[in-house]
Amino acid sequence: MPRGHHDVGGLPGAGPIDQSEHELSDWEILADAINQALGAKGVKRTDEMRRAREEMDSAAYRDMTYYERWIASIEAILIEKKILNKQEIDRKLAEFDSKWGEP
Amino acid sequence: MNGATGKFKAGDRVKVKFEDRPGHLRTPWYIRGKTGWIERVYGDFLNPESLAFGRDGLPKKTLYLVAFHHHDVFGKSPGAGDKVLVDIYDHWLEPTA
């Protein structure tokens, strides 16, 4: 087992940590709300979300922002628990895209 | 302390196991194989390495605050007496002299 892509503590060459704050986008706040709601309903636990992030494709993990990883983890766990399936999610995304997506 | 069932008490010298296995491992890579001491016993908690797979987290595991000399972890130290403090579960630790 190689060192996990999430487990970067102590690696040389990482440089200083960017501690600047940024304004949250609406979708990031929504990501947090969905996460909280699923937790409150007992659908998933924080540890499952962490495991989902660890199991992602490493290149995808590195390319994603913080809340993108949250959303991808939620999707993976909901599919794993058979609450949603990939086709349903993709269909809904296509629907949103045709309604509000960039032309 | 705290009704904790783990093997160690505050002040005990411990070595972190160098384990590497599939799954959700709650001990960061950089601290595996290092030697330190128990700074504090937090108590018993559901095992996150089990919860991560939708299981019940039982049996509970004792969680400790474990201290290490900074130079023992990173080879050099920004300041004398600096410590690295890590939360580590009982099953990751073994006694050492």
| pLDDT-derived band at B75, boundaries 50, 70, 90 | confident
Residue B64, strand partner residues: B41, B88
Residue B52 structure tokens = 């991560």
Name chain A contacts of B73, Cβ cutoff 8 Å: 10
What is the predicted pLDDT for the residue at B14?
98
Give the C-alpha separation, B84 to B31, whole Å: 9
Stretch B68-80: mean pLDDT, rounded? 87
Nearest-CA distance from B55 to chain A in Å? Answer: 10
Give the C-alpha separation, B59 to B73, whole Å: 30
Name chain B contacts of A54, Cβ cutoff 8 Å: 24
Q: What are phi and psi of B31, to 5 degrees?
A: -105, -10
CA A35, A40, A46, A49 torsion-angle sign: negative
ipTM surpassing 0.90:
no
Q: What confidence tens digit (pLDDT) does each residue in A32-90 have? A: 999 999 999 999 999 999 999 999 999 999 999 999 999 999 999 999 999 999 999 99
Nearest Cα to Cα of residue B24 among A53, A76, A39, A11: A53
Q: Is the pTM of this model over 0.80?
A: yes
Residue B40, strand partner residues: B65
Give the C-alpha separation, B20 to B78, whole Å: 29
CB-CB under 8 Å, A9 with B21: no
Name chain B contacts of A81, Cβ cutoff 8 Å: 54
CA angle A100, A27, A95 (to 5 degrees): 30
Q: What confidence tens digit (pLDDT) does each residue in B9-58 have? A: 999 999 999 988 889 999 999 999 999 999 999 999 999 999 999 999 99
Long-range pairs for B20-23 at CB < 8 Å and ≥24 separation? B20/A1, B21/A1, B22/A1, B23/A51, B23/B49, B23/B52, B23/B53
For chain B, domain boundaries: 13-95
Nearest-CA distance from A37 to chain B in Å? Answer: 17
Residues in chain B: 97
CB-CB under 8 Å, A54 with B22: no
CB-CB under 8 Å, B29 with A10: yes
What is the predicted pLDDT for the residue at A103?
67
Give the C-alpha separation, B97 to B92, whole Å: 17
Give the C-alpha separation, B36 to B85, whole Å: 9
Q: Which CATH class is domain B13-95?
A: mainly beta
CB-CB under 8 Å, B52 with A47: yes
CB-CB under 8 Å, B20 with A10: no
| pLDDT-derived band at A1, boundaries 50, 70, 90 | low
CA angle A87, A88, A90 (to 5 degrees): 65
Chain B residue with the nearest C-alpha to that of A42 = B54
What is the predicted pLDDT for the residue at A14?
80
Stretch B73-79: mean pLDDT, rounded? 83
What is the predicted pLDDT for the residue at A75?
96
Nearest-CA distance from A13 to chain B in Å? Answer: 14
What is the predicted pLDDT for the residue at A18?
87
CATH architecture of A27-100: Orthogonal Bundle (1.10)
